[in-house]
Amino acid sequence: MGKIIEHWRIPVATLFSAVLIICAYIFARNVGSPPSVQASEETILLQAIATKDSDNDGLSDWEETLYGTDAHKSDSFNLGMTDGEAVAKGFVVPKAVANIQSATSTMATADGTLTSAFAQDFFTLYLAAKQANGGVDLTGDQTNMLVNQAMEQLSKTTLIAADSKTLADIKVFGSGPDTLRVFAIEAEKVFQKHMSTTVINEIQLLKNAVMNGDAEAFDRLASTAQIYRHYASGLMDLPVPQELVKDYLALINAMLMRSEADDNFTKVNTDPLTTMLALEQFSQTESTFWDVFSNISAIYVSSGVVLRNGTPGASFVNVIANSKETTI
């Protein structure tokens, strides 16, 4: 077993980042693919997260999480060599491997992250498969199969992006044009109360944090997450017309999902797999927001309620129309 552990990294490290990118999508995907431009941006970010090496020690930051090394210190255990060199020589092993070797190892302490949970499952499967293979390195296809198996095991115990609210949580009151007008005004007030004066897309903020080392981006992501929670809380307090119940519920759940995704973006340095999955959550909310506001606008039109821009409630009802005008 010692030799198996010592040389485990050679065939695995080169393909691991790419496999994580693929599995992150597979694990969280429950809607259609995002627009190609957005998918491209997400792929760039996933690649940046998977390859980021803050201390230039030969280990990417997500690998440092797996090993229990410091992503900002090139020689975490003062071994007189970089962490990458220490791993290559077998002096430092993944926390999951250390857990197998010794239950008392200081590197075996679980940190409760998805990345560590995935690592525990994967490396346990990998070492067992390699031992069964007589200590011979596994092929790329065999390793890919184990990665998929580890992701499947993780998916059985982890629920990502579950709806937070149900119809029982919604206050339904009235219907018809007058009720719809009043509701639009009140909903608009909720958004205006918590609207940020400076709006930067969270994907751009995450890019700034990961690719440009912008520490302030994490604070802004946390603030944006809080804004979405305020939106959801404010909307929950409003009685909603019968016509809007289905879309209203979808909107509130999307707001809460977006808040969770933004919070999870801030974990990129400590739990990169969670951030990778959060990119999919973000994509889901973008699609839901578009569908919900399109439906709301159509319901108002079919009910004979037309709110022109500048009149109370119009900014809530005309979100999609205004977005199209902005992008033309």
Question: Torsions phi, psi of 106, nearest 5?
Answer: -70, -20
Give the per-residue pLDDT at 24: 55
pLDDT tens per residue across span 168-216: 899 999 999 999 999 999 999 999 887 765 567 899 999 999 888 898 9
pLDDT of 263 over the 70 cut: yes
256 or 14: which carries more pLDDT confidence? 256
Rg for the chain, CA atoms, rounded: 24
Give the per-residue pLDDT at 153: 72
Across the range 30-38, mean pLDDT stands at 44
How buried is residue 276: exposed, middle or buried, by Cβ count under 10 Å (0-12/13-18/19+)?
buried
User: pLDDT tier at 107 (50, 70, 90 boundaries)?
Assistant: very low
Q: Who's near 239: CB < 8 A, 6+ residues apart? A: 171, 172, 173, 174, 183
Q: Are 62 and 20 in contact (CB under 8 A)?
A: yes
Residues in a beta bridge with 11: none
Instruction: Name which of 20-29, 109-118, 205-214, 281-290 the model is least confident about.
Output: 20-29
Using left for φ > 0, alpha for ψ between -120 and 50, and beta otherwise, residue 241 falls in: beta
User: pLDDT tier at 258 (50, 70, 90 boundaries)?
Assistant: very high
Using left for φ > 0, alpha for ψ between -120 and 50, and beta otherwise, residue 44 falls in: alpha
Domain boundaries, the chain: 2-157, 167-327
pLDDT tens per residue across span 70-90: 888 999 999 999 988 888 887
Give the per-residue pLDDT at 314: 93
Most confident of 19-28, 98-107, 136-145: 136-145
Give the per-residue pLDDT at 182: 96
104 or 292: which carries more pLDDT confidence? 292
Most confident of 122-131, 202-211, 238-247, 316-325: 238-247
20 or 221: which carries more pLDDT confidence? 221
